[in-house]
Structure formats: structure tokens, C-alpha cells
Amino acid sequence: MKVVLFCGGFGTRLRDYSEAIPKPMVPVGYRPILWHVMKYYAHFGHKDFILCLGYRADAIKQYFLNYDECLSNDFTLSQGGRQVDLANSDIGDWRITFVDTGTQANIGQRLMAVRSYLEGEEAFLANYADNVTDLPLPKLIEFYNAHRPVGLFMAVRPTQSFHVVKTEDNGRVCSIVDVDHSDMWINGGYFVLSSEIFNHMEKGDELVIQPFQRLIAQGRLMAYKHDGFWACMDTFKDKQQLDEMYARGEAAWEVWKRAR
């Protein structure tokens, strides 16, 4: 299946990094968060990517045009540095389509902008370019195939600690519980979308607002609950946590390393 990745965000809450580079290029370890997301999909055999570019599209293009395989692969150096033999390759069999979808476009507009690259596809995968997980992707796709909704996404527990409050109309509190003990789930990305999704979209729509509301009304939107690891790099604190996990060798999203 083709994989559509939304890479156009400004990353306003990561300004220490995203003044110079787009949010998907903020590094975790040796590679940008975008690479980690792509590596995850490639591990499960989905290596045909469509990148919906926006802010600092040039930085993402230049990164892959000048990609250095040696940074994350073992290699043998010989002939005084003239010969480099890679033990393995990251992106040798990836196909990446770079599409400038505008700096101000929302997710729905970015998806509409790459519609022509999805012609002939019965269904495709899609995701934000800033969140990682250990979700067994084949299970998500199996769930989609079993139910055949127009749209399916991974639902996860909120990662931040806060209290969920319910009140009466007059403001009287009915209940207050920690989010860990509530039944709250949020959209974690990792979409499987039927090509029919475009029939439910109109110009200017934000994907998870108007189109998804239409699908909900028709009973054609589903969520797959994942209780495992998920993290989104929204803030500098989020980046620090991912960096710390990576440095400790506890990067739960690196599912490709488990097969070694």
C-alpha cells in the first residue's frame, strides 16, 4: 500500500529547531522523526511514500537528495576511503514522491493535492510525520480488511497527565477523574483510508473535521484501539523524552530492530 505522510507543519511549539528546519526534520538520534516514521512503514513492507510538503519543503528534499546511508548502517571502508561497502541499506528500495502542497494548507487540502498520485489504489495508508508507535501494522490493516470502513485510524490513550471533568449546565461538577482512569481515547494517526474518502471531501475541508463527521453520520468511520507505545513530538519536552529513550536503547518504536 502507498503511504501518504503529511510533512507541511510549522512546528511552532518546537521553535528551537523548526525556525531553521521543518518539524518532520527535527532529529531523534541520528535521523529526523520523519525517517523513523518511514522506517516503521518500510519494515512492514510499505515502501512507496508520498510526502505532502509545505514549510521548508526544500530541507526535506535536500535531505533525501544527499542521503548518507553510512549514518545508520554498518559499512566497510577501504582504499583509503575511496571504497565504501554497506552491510545493509535504509532506503535503497524505497520510492519517495515529493509533492509541494503549500505552506498554509490543512491536512485535508494536502491530501486532496496528492489525489492524482493515488489513482488506481483501492486503499492507502496515511499519517502525520511526527508520531511513532510500536503498533503491529498488519493487525491494523487486517482490521480494515475485515470491516471495510471508508476511514480507519489508530486510537490511543492520551500521554499527558490531566483530569477529565464533567459538569452540569449550572457548572456543578459531576465527576473528576485522572485521564489514566477515564475511558478517553484520542486520534493517534496511522490511518487506513479507502480511495472513496475523496468522495466525502469538499474544498477546504480539514480531514478529521468535516469529512470524518460525514463518515460518522453514515457509520463508515472506525477506530482501532492500541494500548501499546505511542508518542507524538509536539513540544521540546516530547523531543527530549524521545531522545532519552533512544539514548538508553529503549526506543519502543524501532520495531525493525526486533527482527534482527
Domain count, the chain: 1
Per-residue confidence in pLDDT tens, the chain, 260 aa: 999 999 977 655 565 665 678 889 999 988 999 999 999 999 999 999 999 999 889 999 999 998 887 777 787 888 877 788 877 778 889 999 999 999 889 999 999 999 999 999 999 999 999 999 999 999 999 999 999 999 999 999 887 666 667 777 777 777 777 666 567 888 999 999 999 999 999 999 999 999 999 999 999 999 999 999 999 998 888 999 999 999 999 999 999 988 65
Distance separating alpha carbons of residues 102 and 8, to the nearest angstrom:
8
Tell me whether residue 31 is in a domain: yes
Residue 167 lies in a domain: no
Write phi, then psi, for 221 (nearest 5 degrees).
-120, 135
Q: Is residue 31 within 8 Å of 42, Cβ to Cβ?
A: no
In a domain, 177, yes or no: no
Torsion angles phi and psi, residue 212, rounded to 5: -65, -35
In this predicted structure, what is the pLDDT of residue 1?
Answer: 95
The answer as to whether 55 is a domain residue is yes
Q: Which residue, chain included where needed, has cell 453514515?
A: 218
**Residue 109 is assigned to a structural domain of this protein:** yes
Domain assignment of residue 84, yes or no: yes
How far, in Å, are 105, 129, 260 from residue 257 at the CA level?
35, 20, 6
Question: What confidence tens digit (pLDDT) does each residue in 93-134 have?
Answer: 999 999 999 988 999 999 999 999 999 999 999 999 999 999
The answer to the question of residue 165 being in a domain is: no
Q: Give the Cα separation of 49 and 27 in Å (integer).
A: 20
Is 168 a member of any domain?
no
CATH of residue 253: 3.90.550.10
Q: Which domain holds residue 189?
A: 2-156+184-257
